Amino acid sequence: MNPYDAIKRLSEHVAKIPNVISSPAPAVEVLDFNPLGTVIAVRPFCHNNHYWQVYFDTNKAIVDVCGEAGYAVPETRHALRQLVP
C-alpha cells in the first residue's frame, strides 16, 4: 500500500460524508509505523450531535476505500511449538 495514495483517497471520501464540516478539513495523516505497516489516522470534524453518524460513516469509508484500492488486510501469524521431552 502506498500511504500517500491512501491519504488522498481517504481525504476525498471522508470529506463527502454528511455532517463532516469543511473547516477545519478532515485530518488524514500518517500516525505510526508498526510491523503490519503504516498506521493512518483519519479524523473528520463535526458537530457533537452528529458524532456517532460521522464516526460509523468514517469507518465504512475506510472499508470502502481500502476495498476499492485493493489494499491487503494486515494479518499476524503465530507459530506454536510443542516441546517433546
The per-residue pLDDT for range 7-21, each reduced to its tens digit, is: 999 999 999 999 999
pTM of the model: 0.83
The pLDDT of residue 74 is 82
Peptide bond into 24 cis (omega under 30): yes
Quickly count: other Cβ atoms within 10 Å of residue 11's Cβ. 17
Using the 8-state DSSP alphabet, how is residue 84 labeled? -
β partners of residue 27: 43
pLDDT, mean of residues 26-32: 97
Q: What is the pLDDT of residues 61-80, one digit of tens each?
A: 999 999 999 998 888 888 99
- If one compares 27 and 76, the residue with the highest pLDDT of the two is 27
User: In Å, how far from its chain's centre is CA 48?
Assistant: 21
Amino acid occupying residue 59: N
Residue 2: φ, ψ to 5°: -90, 115
